[in-house]
Amino acid sequence: MNRWIFLFLLPIAVAGCVTVPKPLAVGSFVEVTPSTAQNDNFVGQRVRWGGSIANTEPGKNETCFEIVSHPLDSNARPLETDMTWGRFIACAPDFYDPEVYAKGREVTIIGNIQGVTVRKLGEYEYHYPQIIAETVYLWPKLIPYSYYGSQYPYYNSYGPYWYNPWGPWRGRFGSPYW
């Protein structure tokens, strides 16, 4: 009997762990990527895009972000991947501090596509879809931690945080005789 209750409640518990933050779960969105919006006319469509900040430009009454777009996971957080959907510009009313909304930080933006803006990206003329942002969600920084409880990560041929054959149970510095 307990096993059946457990099997019934397990999917509910797992589904409860995967939630989109409240500011990002409002309304419906068009399934279009920034690279598709460069060429087609999607003006006025409401989108939820995310990625890493490439540049933050505060203006007199608004702040504009240049964002390198990445696919979103089930929580609407940008995935850490080399796959990109292109770049886009998002302008939001008010002042957003460029030291907080710094290069490399992850954001998810909700807004309406305003059109396409052409700007130089190096020597290349890039067509940026531009959106008027109603929500700018800055994701907290992910802090790596050691899986073994040590303040120092264990390194081996696979890099940090992978299995260490000497493990923390072997004493200091991995030696069984230390």
Q: Domain limits of the chain?
A: 20-138, 144-178
61 burial via Cβ count (<10 Å: 0-12, 13-18, 19+): exposed
Q: What's the confidence (pLDDT) of residue 168?
A: 52
pLDDT at 26: 80
Q: What is the pLDDT of residues 5-14, one digit of tens each?
A: 544 555 555 5
Encode pLDDT of 140-177 as tens digits.
Answer: 987 766 555 555 555 545 555 445 555 554 444 544 54
pTM greater than the 0.75 cutoff: no
Segment 111-122 mean pLDDT: 92
Rounded to 5 degrees, what are φ and ψ at 130? Answer: -115, 130
- Position 178 pLDDT exceeds 50: no
pLDDT at 100: 95
The model's pLDDT over 31-81, given as tens digits with 9 standing for 90+, comes to 899 999 988 789 999 999 999 999 999 999 999 999 999 999 999 999 988
Distance CA(81)–CA(130), nearest Å, equals 23
Task: Please state, in angstroms and as integers, the Cα–Cα distance from residue 109 to each residue in 55, 93, 112, 171, following that order.
Answer: 15, 13, 10, 48
The predicted pLDDT at position 77 comes to: 93
Contacts of 102 (CB under 8 A, 6+ apart): 53, 56
Note the residue count of the chain: 178
Task: For residue 165, give Cα distances in angstroms to 31, 50, 175.
Answer: 46, 39, 11
Asked if CATH classification 3.20.20.70 holds for the domain at 20-138, the reply, yes or no, is no
Q: Percent of the chain, pLDDT > 90?
A: 53
